[in-house]
Amino acid sequence: MQKETWIVDIDRVDEKGAGQGVVWRENELGNKKKLKLTVPQTLPGEKVRVTVDQPERRRRKVMPDEILEAHPERVAAPCIHFDRCGGCVWQHWDYEGQLKEKTKHVKHVIGEQGFDTSLVRDTIGMDNPWRYRNKMEFTFAKDGSLGLHEQGNFRKIISLETCLIAGEEMVEAAMEIAQWVKEFGLEGYDKDLHEGLLRHLMVRQSFATGEMMLAIFATKAPIQPAVDNLIARITEKFPQVKSLMWLENTDWADRTQSEKSHTLAGRDFIYDMMDGYKFRIWFDTFFQTNPTQAQKLVDLAVEMGEPKKTESMIDLFCGVGTFSLPFASKVEKLAGIEIVETSIESAKRNASDNGIDNTMFLAKDARNGLAQVLETFGRPELLLLDPPRSGAGGKVMRRIGRSQPERIVYVSCNPDTFATDIKELEPFGYTLKVVQPVDLFPHTVHVECCALLVRNN
């Protein structure tokens, strides 16, 4: 196989956090051709040496042979799995540098849509950007070993000894289950042949209550006597585990879903807290995975929205009520809309558990749900939306624009779709006032935003 060595200047990072560079090479006819290179674990401004196979192609992904000129913000990655694991792609970047890059990206996408980039504040980071996750999903390899996907290879599982972004107790419990699998010789799931037993392990732990959930996803019902041994060792070693679940999943889709659930020990949910409110968390409940920064998001949303006791409010894409409950105590009435019925049932239960009685929740898609709520609820003074990564979309945003709330608070986990969404509000008389990025996922490319838009009088 033909190989060529090049010295490459890294000029930017792509949407997955890998360095990007370009080299020009002459083909056999003497014509210059551009070769675009993706070089993981490099930073903008670095000069690196790479070896490229099949250089005649237009694009190649290669690991750096050597960093010739390092970025001043380059640091040694602390995790022993960094070179292979696909979890944290920016551990080699000083944390302040990561925050600056995230601010830069938000400014870029906002500017592309014609908004004033000075409205974007500096990204709010963490005092300690490690051990911040309250939920992890690990995958079993075919041999039963437990880990995360290899960088750029969805079918390869890296067996883990640690994970520096998950809570220490969560990692200890996961390693205990990995040891149990090894002792009983249980097999993992083969994604190609669709054979095997164990698929995933989900670990959730509340930072507020300390309660932990361990959920094993398998293709069959619980296996005896292995499960009896699992129950005994988990209940003995980890009293904080209040939910030990075995979830059957035979679907071809590689997701943590369940067709039949078995509660092996404890209950089928755990309790968590946010902003002083209690939430029930099931295995499939969407709840912010970084509670420290999620609290900052809630505080920002309340600060920007300025809710008043005389006002009504709509919470679009409300989930289980993460924003609904803190806002409900500050407005006259609140309506939450969410397409996932189980989330709506959870939102109702969470409101009841916390003694909140001025809310209504509707299980419907955002556009039609908003139309239905407006008929019975009336025009709200305040509307909050927290859509998935794909954004709310033009139809939903135009429906929001026509409903004419005085203030709109947009909480986003994807600046790109956020920027295109809010552009749809301009024809309806809305002005963007401020965008505050918040880092909920240190050492990754992801960044959340909280923004305020106000209707012109």
Dihedral, CA of residue 59, residue 64, residue 70 and residue 75, to nearest 10:
110
Residue 160 DSSP class: P
Residue 379 DSSP class: -
Residue 104 dihedral angles phi and psi, to the nearest 5°: -60, -40
Type and span of the H or E element at 348: helix 341-353
Cα angle 302-308-313, degrees, rounded to a multiple of 5: 75
Rg, Å, the chain Cα set: 24
Q: At what angle do helices 394-403 and 415-423 cross, to 10 degrees?
A: 50
Cis-peptide into 415, omega within 30 deg: no
Cis-peptide into 225, omega within 30 deg: yes
User: Which two structure tokens, joined as six digits, stand for 187?
Assistant: 């097999």
* Given 88, 318, 413, 449, the catalytic residue: 413
Please check whether residue 102 is in contact with residue 415, taking contact to mean a CB–CB distance below 8 angstroms.
no
Please check whether residue 246 is in contact with residue 198, taking contact to mean a CB–CB distance below 8 angstroms.
no
User: Which two structure tokens, joined as six digits, stand for 93?
Assistant: 């970047």
413 is catalytic: yes
**Helix, strand, or coil (residue 48):** strand
CA distances from residue 284 to 210, 222, 316, 345 in whole angstroms, order as listed: 19, 20, 19, 13
User: Which two structure tokens, joined as six digits, stand for 309?
Assistant: 């006791």
CA pair distance 447, 15, nearest whole angstrom: 12
Residues labelled as active-site residues = 413
